[in-house]
Amino acid sequence: MKSLNRPLPPIRCEGCSILVGPGYLSKQGWPSPDHRGIVCASCRQYLDGAAAKGRNPIDVLNAWRRDLRTALISSPFLYSRVG
């Protein structure tokens, strides 16, 4: 029987791929604009700002996902996007 007291495993941010969860850079995650995952606090702030400037947050997020897919092929390092 599994214990209910175990913390949930961390989840990767859809925008920058950092781990989100207790004990990590971002303790809380928010639903991504397209509801396909979560975003960290920094990515959420940036996407909210982009929406306020008239940009489509889903387009911005999809561009980040595309950048991550191509960057991880050529580089072993994960990066974090800062607003």
Is residue 79 a part of any domain in this protein?
no
With CA atoms as reference, report the closest residue to 30 among 46, 18, 16, 43: 43
Is residue 5 a part of any domain in this protein?
no
Is residue 3 very low, low, confident or very high in pLDDT (cuts 50, 70, 90)? low
pLDDT tens-digit readout, 40-73: 999 999 999 999 999 999 999 988 887 766 655 5
Residue 20, H or E segment: strand 19-20
Range of the domain at 21: 11-74
Is residue 80 a part of any domain in this protein?
no
Is residue 43 a part of any domain in this protein?
yes
pTM for this predicted structure: 0.71
What pLDDT was estimated at residue 31?
A: 94
CB atoms within 10 A of CB 77: 6
Tell me the two tokens of residue 30: 């928010």
What pLDDT was estimated at residue 9?
A: 82
Q: What percent of the chain has pLDDT over 70?
A: 75
- The tally of domains found in the chain comes to 1
- What whole-number distance in Å separates Cα of residue 37 and Cα of residue 72? 19
pLDDT tens-digit readout, 6-43: 777 888 899 888 899 888 888 889 999 999 999 999 99
